[in-house]
Amino acid sequence: MKQRQYGTQLALATLGAMLIALTAMAQSADELVPLIQQSVEDIQVQMRVDPAGAEASLAQQRERIEAVRSEAPGHPLLSSLERRVDELDEEIAALRASQAESPVDEEQFVPLAVPAEVRMRLRDVQQLQTQSDREMMRGETESAVAYLDEAEALLATIEEEYGDQIPPGYAALIVADERLAALRDQLARLQGK
């Protein structure tokens, strides 16, 4: 059974590589180069989150570079693309090595699951903040203050009622707090305080 699964996976991987190669060959070098450039930028971001996925994406870019080389060996961007892909390959290898060397600390991983009620209320906070921002743009500072006060009260209620169920560092809550502070500062500047 395991051999059949391995054979199926191998066949699918081979088929995927062939499709990528055929797609790369079907496109001209001038079409592939911007695609490679954009993919390289995406890989730079992806490698911080998913080094294994970035490594696979980098392999795909190497195949595209080979397609460019076979179609247009003198393309002016070919050597810089190859150099950048090699640099990324080294960066990914170093990143994976550092992850393998560093001991896994259980405290690093924080579950980010929060109750659905918290997510719904945080959406309400965002809506209130957006409404306050709109009111400020219209010059209606009194109603902007009212919306901000309501958003602040709702945030306080969320933290009071669900504080023990919200993991430390929960991004949506941090963003809501920071946006509230930024809107308060903006409002104070508008009011000349």
pLDDT digits (tens, 9 = 90+) for 27-61: 687 888 888 888 887 787 777 777 778 888 888 88
CA dist 21 and 44 (Å) reads 23
pLDDT digits 0-9 by tens, 68-118: 889 888 888 888 888 888 988 888 888 888 877 765 544 444 445 678 888
d(CA 181, CA 189): 12
Cβ 177 vs Cβ 159: under 8 Å: no
Give 83 or 9, the one with higher predicted confidence. Answer: 83
91, 107, 88: which is closest to 99 by C-alpha?
Answer: 91
What's the pLDDT score for residue 166?
Answer: 84
Which residues have a Cβ under 8 Å from the Cβ of 180 and sit 6 or more positions away? 125, 129, 148, 151, 152, 155
The residue extents of the domains of the chain are 10-103, 116-191
Confidence of residue 148 (pLDDT cuts 50, 70, 90): very high
For residue 170, what pLDDT is reported?
A: 80
- At 105 the pLDDT is 47
Helices within 27-115 (DSSP H only): 29-49, 51-71, 78-101
**What's residue 93's pLDDT?**
86
DSSP state of 167: P
pLDDT for 177 beyond 70: yes
Q: How many whole angstroms separate alpha carbon 66 and alpha carbon 60?
A: 10
Classify residue 40 as exposed, middle or buried by CB count within 10 Å of its CB (0-12, 13-18, 19+): middle
pLDDT at position 150: 96
User: What is the spatial distance between Cα 162 and Cα 159, in angstroms, rounded to a whole number?
Assistant: 5
Q: Report how far residue 152's alpha carbon sits from residue 150's, in angstroms, rounded to the nearest whole number.
A: 5
Query: The tokens 């390959």 sit on which residue?
Result: 89
Tell me the pTM: 0.43
